[in-house]
């Protein structure tokens, strides 16, 4: 199993952007020293509270500074991006990285984002279903013509093709059964968000495999998985350290329109049901259980929580690197 570092935004607009970038660079340096070979950055627009650095230009900088790592846009909000632009930009980044680019896509949920782009939120599934095949076709170098649906192309072709063949890996973020089935049909892998409970994740993985068996032409059944992790000397200490921040973060997701994110917040065991928290033995046991039920290629780790300072994030990453990763040799 490989490990990746997720650069989430925990910085509000009062923090200088350069500080955010410098702190991320320190996290990446430590992650690379620990043997992590993947850096992931996501996308939001007009976020009301937190600053999001747009992933394509940001990952180009990361890949140049850290030439040993793969980089993943996790995720690009595909309904808010034209497939020609995505195909061109991701192909360019694949060339810049010499074939180390992964395209993660998602449907989005924040109403303000759809309003800002003049896109109906109700169209997001159809735009995803239409956009991803167009991106794949454009990556072949073919001239693409389509006059149905949301995108009108007449002999469109892109001038820069990706190095990876037949294409850079496509991950599709999904957490409901229909979306997981969509990932099995349209993408190379299902990108698992942290929202499903452990039990829900196992059940959804079975659905994913079932759908893949009915759809040929795509390769791996291994998937990149996100789970929230917090290390302390014991479970009670870990929960005390993150309970307020976790409830705030997942409550914010719900406010943004991500209803499944807040499911179970009122229950006292919601951290246990979704997260891996406690001492190193507890987290290793939890990861082993996950590995035994869900085949995955990459575990995506996020060391920082809202409200926690950079030193705490570095300390968490250091503990994860020394206490967890050695138990899972690639």
Residues 285-319: tens digit of each pLDDT: 999 999 888 877 899 999 987 777 899 999 999 99
How far apart, in whole angstroms, are the C-alpha atoms of residue 215 and residue 247?
A: 38
Q: How far apart are CA 95 and CA 321, in angstroms?
A: 30
Q: Nearest CA to 301 among 317, 285, 315?
A: 317
Burial (CB < 10 A; 0-12, 13-18, 19+), residue 112, is middle
Rg of the chain over Cα atoms, rounded to whole angstroms, equals 19
Reduced 3-state DSSP string for 124-183: HHHHHHHHHHHHHHHHCCCCEEECCCCCCEEEECCCCCCCCCCCCCEEEECCCHHHHHHH
Judge contact between 211 and 284, C-beta under 8 A. Answer: no
pLDDT at 297 (0 to 100): 83
* pTM, 2 dp: 0.92
Distance CA 193, CA 281 (A): 23
What is the pLDDT at residue 266?
Answer: 47
State residue 262's pLDDT score. Answer: 54
3 state SS of 104 = strand
> Which residues have C-beta within 8 Å of that of residue 85, sequence separation ≥ 6?
none
Strand partners, 87: none
Q: Measuring CA to CA, which residue among 131, 77, 102 is closest to residue 223? A: 102
Where the chain has pLDDT below 50, the residues are 219, 266-267
What's the rounded Cα separation, in Å, for the pair 252 and 241? 18
For each of the domains in the chain, give its residue range(s) and CATH number, in order of start.
2-327 (3.20.20.30)
């Amino acid at each position: 199993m490989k490990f990746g570092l997720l650069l989430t935004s925990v910085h509000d607009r009062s923090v200088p952007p350069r500080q955010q970038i410098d702190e991320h660079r320190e996290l990446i340096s430590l992650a690379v020293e620990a043997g992590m070979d993947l850096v992931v950055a996501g996308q939001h627009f007009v976020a009301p509270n937190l600053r999001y650095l747009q992933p394509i230009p940001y990952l180009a900088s990361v890949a140049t500074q850290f030439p040993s790592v793969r980089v993943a846009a996790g995720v690009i909000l595909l309904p808010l991006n034209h497939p020609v632009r995505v195909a061109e930009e991701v192909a360019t980044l694949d060339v810049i990285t010499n074939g180390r680019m992964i395209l993660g896509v998602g449907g989005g949920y924040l109403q303000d984002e759809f309003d800002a782009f003049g896109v109906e939120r109700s169209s997001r599934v159809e735009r995803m279903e239409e956009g991803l095949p167009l991106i794949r076709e454009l990556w072949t170098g073919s001239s693409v013509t389509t006059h149905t649906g949301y995108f009108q192309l007449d002999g469109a072709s892109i001038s820069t093709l990706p190095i990876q063949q037949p294409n850079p890996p496509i991950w599709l973020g999904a957490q409901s059964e229909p979306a997981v089935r969509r990932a099995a049909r349209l993408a190379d892998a299902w990108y698992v968000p942290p929202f499903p409970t452990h039990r829900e994740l196992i059940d959804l993985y079975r659905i994913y495999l079932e759908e893949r068996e009915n759809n040929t032409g795509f390769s791996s059944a291994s998937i990149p998985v996100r789970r929230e992790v917090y290390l302390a000397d014991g479970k009670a200490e870990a929960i005390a350290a993150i309970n307020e921040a976790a409830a705030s973060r997942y409550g914010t997701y719900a406010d943004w329109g991500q209803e499944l994110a807040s499911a179970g917040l009122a229950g006292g065991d919601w951290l246990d049901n979704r997260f891996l928290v406690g001492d190193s033995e507890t987290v290793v046991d939890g990861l082993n259980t996950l590995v035994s039920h869900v085949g995955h290629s990459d575990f995506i780790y996020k060391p920082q929580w809202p409200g926690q300072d950079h030193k705490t994030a570095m300390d968490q990453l250091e503990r994860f690197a020394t206490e967890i990763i050695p138990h899972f040799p690639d």
